[in-house]
Amino acid sequence: MATQPDYHLMYIDSTLGAEWLFSAARRYWDRYRPIIVSNLEVIALIPPKNTLTITILARRDIAPKIIDDISKRFPRAGRDPLVYDVPADLKLTLDGRVDYNQRFGVPEDAPAKK
């Protein structure tokens, strides 16, 4: 079974509306319960000894900057970017992940990469 991170966070940029969380990500949150953050300063509070993966919800116009910021500030974090321009498209992906038990886009029982 793949190793799960100690912390799973879902970063939602503050420029996105509530529908990105309450509509598009509802089933995903209900199933996996990631910690929802909209401020990168919160991520810095996770102790360095712990592993973390950040599911990043972003539109195409802001995704490159967000992903670059997270990569530079938190190089130890696994990154799971989901880049969509409308919440309905994101909902299809996240609901599919729930249906197929794929928290990070791969089956939970998939072997870890070496």
Asked whether residue 106 is assigned to any structural domain, the reply reads no
Task: Please report whether residue 68 resides in a domain.
Answer: yes
SS3 67: helix
Residue 79 belongs to a domain = yes
List pLDDT tens digits, range 92-107.
999 999 999 999 987 7
Rounded-to-integer distance, Cα 1 and Cα 31, Å: 18
Note the pLDDT of residue 109: 59
Whichever domain contains 49, its CATH number is 3.40.50.2300
- When pLDDT is cut at 50, 70 and 90, the band that residue 3 belongs to is confident
pLDDT tens-place string over residues 56-104: 999 999 999 999 999 999 999 999 999 999 999 999 999 999 999 999 9
Q: Is residue 108 part of a domain?
A: no
- Residue 100 CB neighbours (<10 A): 11
> What is the DSSP code string of 14-63?
TTS-THIIIIISHHHHHHH-PEEES-HHHHTTS-TTS-EEEEEEE-TTTH
CA distance 87 to 19: 7
Residue 37 main-chain phi, psi, to 5 deg: -135, 150
Q: How far is CA 65 from the centre of its chain?
A: 15
Neighbours of 69 (CB within 10 A): 13
Total structural domains within the chain: 1
Global confidence as pTM: 0.89
State which residues form the domain around 72. Answer: 7-99
